[in-house]
Amino acid sequence: MANEHNIIIYSTPTCPYCHQAKRYLAERGFDFTDKDVATDLQAREDMIRKSGQLGVPVIDVDGNIIIGFNRPKLDELLAE
């Protein structure tokens, strides 16, 4: 069940909220793709195109964009 979602986290190595979001998903058994926008220019462009944001984390759950580590919104999308 946990792997039914396509989850991408756009993050940087120094972002504490990024680490919290990744830990939160991992502890709940969700697989995700982590894209480091500090080094991956294509990922950075994708993140900006999807979210209009420069800040991280940006979390893409099945095409639904979450800005920041918004736990209630993340739980809502992962419950679907």
| Per-residue pLDDT, 80 | 77
| Per-residue pLDDT, 3 | 61
Stretch (H or E) spanning 76: helix 71-79
- Quote the CA–CA distance of 9 and 60 in Å, as a whole number: 6
Domain that holds residue 62: 2-79
Rg (CA), the chain: 12
- Quote the CA–CA distance of 46 and 42 in Å, as a whole number: 6
Classified as helix, coil or strand, 44 is helix
Written as one letter, the residue type at 10 is Y
Q: What is the CATH number of the domain that holds 36?
A: 3.40.30.10
Written as one letter, the residue type at 48 is I
Q: Per-residue pLDDT for the chain (80 aa), expressed as one digit of tens each?
A: 446 899 999 999 999 999 999 999 999 999 999 999 999 999 999 999 999 999 999 999 999 999 999 999 999 999 97
Q: How many structural domains is the chain composed of?
A: 1
